[in-house]
Chains A and B, each alone.
Chain A
Amino acid sequence: MPSLYHYLSLSALLFCIGIFGALTRRNAIGILMAIELLFNAVNINFVAFARFIDPQAIVGQVFTIFVITIAAAEAAVGLAIIILIYRQHKGVDVDKVNIMKW
């Protein structure tokens, strides 16, 4: 029977992978995917805490549903932006997108 610590370890692992991916990937789509990983790590945390600390209350699960919903919307907006970037720069390499530079 896996304990809370196993879930938390999995979640931390996922989070680290997500962070690593978000910070190192050059491809915008890759970054988006890494962010999804981050969300999911958080979701696992929510559900795990909800399940182990107070099984009667389902606050964690509900919160997770919200997060998944928002993440879907976010992914839609993000992909739309990426398509626009692609049209502008003929690519989705974020290194090339440095118009915020001084």
Chain B
Amino acid sequence: MLPYSWLIPCFPLLSFALIIFFTIKKPRLSSLVSIGAVALSFLFSFIVLVTVLGNPVTSEFKINWLDLPGFKVEAGMLIDPLTAVMLMVVTIVSMLVQIYSVGYMAGDSRFSRYFSFLSLFTFSMLGLVLSNNFFEIFIFWELVGLTSYLLIGFWFEKKTASDAGKKAFITTRTGDLAFLVGIFLLTTTVGTLNFQEAFHQVESGAISSTLLTLSAILIFGGAVGKSAQFPLHVWLPDAMEGPTPVSALIHAATMVAAGVYLVARLMSIYALSVPASLVVAIIGAFTAFLAASIALVQNDIKRVLAYSTISQLGYMIMALGLGGYTAGTFHLMTHASFKALLFLGAGSVIHSMHTNDIWEMGGLYLKMRTTAITFILGSLSLAGIFPLSGFWSKDEILLLALNKSPIFALVGLAVAFMTAFYMFRLCFIAFYGKARDQHKFEHAHESPKVMTVPLVILAFLSVFAGWVGIPWLSKGYSTFVYHHEVHHLEPNFILMLVATFVALSGIYLAYVIYYKGTISAERLKNRFSSIHKLLYNKYYFDELYNAIIIRPLFKLADFLFKKFDLGVIDWLVNAAGNFTVFLSWFWELFDTYVVDGAVNGLGYVVRGTGAGIRKVQTGQLQNYAFVIFFGIVLIILLKIF
């Protein structure tokens, strides 16, 4: 079965082509084609998962794509437990999001195109997780970036949306540049693009440790861009301009997790470079803290979730940096389910309220029961409440951090506290309390079945998906997905209790402030107004980047335009033009005086000669006879002498 896994990404690709070329005019058919294709991919992925579960070995299938002397590019698949898990995550979330989109995007003028983009994205993401070499993964890496751009700017009539698309694309490209340089550095040193061959080379010491660290950090740059880590995290919140199901699929569950996947896939390299791992862990931890603190005060429901995503991705990256292959990927998996759920839930709310501002919501529990329940389940899972998915994966990371370096565990706990607080701040404001906007509240309604059913399925996953990683299981996640030796830390009861306490206290604080109102949010805000302002403005990162990167670039571009383009290039063009004009003027003179002169001159000469000679022909016979006579006399005289 495994050799046929290449079909998994092919179904969505086929669906993309079908929709673009044939069914673009038939929205209903397009959505069916797209969902059917991803369902087939899901089926195949499931078979792959079952096969790999039965026999958890790494298998590789490849063909030569480009075979030049000293340079070989393969097209192939690398299937190991991690790939199998990622395939499941991508296909499940993609399928549910596409089903949900039928309801969410109903009536959109570019409905078919939307589904074709989703198919293209699913193809790229599946190709990315199946890649067996650097070249292939980079291609798919860029393809997901492209589809992300297309879908963020899907409503491109809105300036903010098209700007957000550009911002996302350019920001991630910055990371991708580092990624590309890292790939060059590593692959030219070890002499192969293939992951496993490269790992063998690296493990056998074919590359100096400095170079290894450098290339590992550069490659991590790609992950920083894609997974929206500090300092390239600024694009993800803006990416929320896209349709909400897109945010759920691309900017929460799958594409942004590609950076985490990349680091996990290259674990063999990071494991060998202590400084690179440390950089990864620090960036992850810092991002987790930074983003969580920003999420505390945001008012846009999707932005809160976006910062939460950044923060959770930081969590995963931190785990990977600490060597927690299992912990990081486990959290990736559980996070995909509950964050997709939260985004789809937020989409459901937005769909009925037509606003993103949580302060215009309130009391929605009464109107949208399914959405509210699933959303709260997702929040609980994200906050890490026993026994939901998030609890197990977060516990795994905290345990790892505690064993490796307690500072990271402290950061992790702080982030967990903030996570619980901001999620329940959101829940209490949006779903409980009084309706703040009576008009919108009255028009609020539960979303159609096609949207709520995916929510319920995802809620189910948010609760139970983590159970595969319960540390007491003898054959759990950690015996399935692991790096080299089975990685199994002894469960730490005290840590579990502490984590739960921290999460509960976060929820309680939110409850006290936003539900009971015992502590006034306003007064808190005024008390810590400077901190609030700093957080509310996202630490002024956008302004900072504007000031130090974007504006100087604009200035440079302006300068180059005025000085170089207008001054040098235009001057050159004009000079060339003037020179040509001069040349043609010169040649005109030549034509007039030399060529025409020759022609006319010949005419004049002929005419002049003719005019001269014609006088001889007098028409007087006597003249002729006279000439004849003297001619004869002359001849005779010549004859005689």
Chain A residues engaging chain B, CB cutoff 8 angstroms: 19, 22-24, 31, 94-95, 98-102
Contacts and interface: CB of A to CB of B under 8 A. Distances in A.
Interface string B599-626: 0000000000000001001111110011
Contacts of A31: 622
Contacts of A94: 620-622
B501 interface: no
> Among A19, A23, A95, A99, which residue has the most Cβ atoms of chain B within 10 A?
A23
A99 B619 contact: yes
Interface string B619-641: 11110011001000000000000
* Closest 4 A/B residue pairs (Cβ): A101-B619, A98-B619, A100-B619, A23-B626
Nearest to B616: A102
Interface string B421-456: 000000000000000000000000000000000000
Contacts of A23: 622, 625-626, 629
A61 to B, nearest CB: 27
Contacts of A98: 618-620
Contact of B614 (A24, A95, A99, A102): A102
Contacts of B620: 94-95, 98, 101
Contacts of B625: 22-23
25 contacts: A19-B629, A22-B622, A22-B625, A23-B622, A23-B625, A23-B626, A23-B629, A24-B622, A31-B622, A94-B620, A94-B622, A98-B618, A98-B619, A98-B620, A99-B619, A100-B617, A100-B619, A100-B621, A101-B617, A101-B618, A101-B619, A101-B620, A102-B614, A102-B617, A102-B619
Given A24-B622, A99-B619, A101-B620, 6 more contacts: A22-B622, A23-B625, A100-B617, A101-B617, A101-B619, A102-B619
A19 B630 CA distance: 11
A100 B625 CA distance: 14
A81 to B, nearest CB: 12
Q: Is the interface of A mostly helix, strand, loop or mixed?
A: helix
Interface in B468-526: none
Contacts of B629: 19, 23
Nearest to B622: A23
Contacts of A24: 622
Contacts of B621: 94, 100
> Among B614, B619, B625, B629, which residue has the most Cβ atoms of chain A within 10 A?
B619
Interface residues of B, number: 10
A99 B219 CA distance: 107
Contacts of B619: 98-102
Contacts of A100: 617, 619, 621
A90 B622 CA distance: 20
Nearest to A24: B622
A98 B620 CA distance: 6
Interface string B182-226: 000000000000000000000000000000000000000000000
Nearest to A19: B629
Nearest to B626: A23
Contacts of B614: 102
B557 to A, nearest CB: 80
Contacts of B617: 100-102
A22 B622 CA distance: 7
A94 B620 CA distance: 7
B387 to A, nearest CB: 128
A24 B623 CA distance: 9
B30 to A, nearest CB: 93
B610 to A, nearest CB: 10
Contacts of A95: 620
A22 B619 CA distance: 16
> Among B620, B625, B626, which residue has the most Cβ atoms of chain A within 10 A?
B620
B623 to A, nearest CB: 9
A95 to B, nearest CB: 7
Nearest to A31: B622
Nearest to B620: A98
B637 to A, nearest CB: 15
Nearest to A25: B622
A23 B622 CA distance: 5
Nearest to B614: A102
A100 B620 CA distance: 8
A34 B184 CA distance: 118
Nearest to A22: B625
Contacts of A101: 617-620
Contacts of A102: 614, 617, 619
B622 to A, nearest CB: 5
A36 to B, nearest CB: 16
A98 B622 CA distance: 11
> Among B614, B617, B621, which residue has the most Cβ atoms of chain A within 10 A?
B621
Contacts of B618: 98, 101
A49 to B, nearest CB: 18
A78 to B, nearest CB: 12
Interface in B317-376: none
A95 B629 CA distance: 19
A52 to B, nearest CB: 23
A99 B619 CA distance: 7
Interface string B69-112: 00000000000000000000000000000000000000000000
A57 to B, nearest CB: 27
A98 B621 CA distance: 8
A31 B621 CA distance: 11
A31 B620 CA distance: 13
B631 to A, nearest CB: 13
Nearest to B633: A19
A35 to B, nearest CB: 10
Nearest to B610: A102
A21 to B, nearest CB: 11
Contacts of A19: 629
Interface in B543-592: none
Nearest to B615: A102
B253 to A, nearest CB: 106
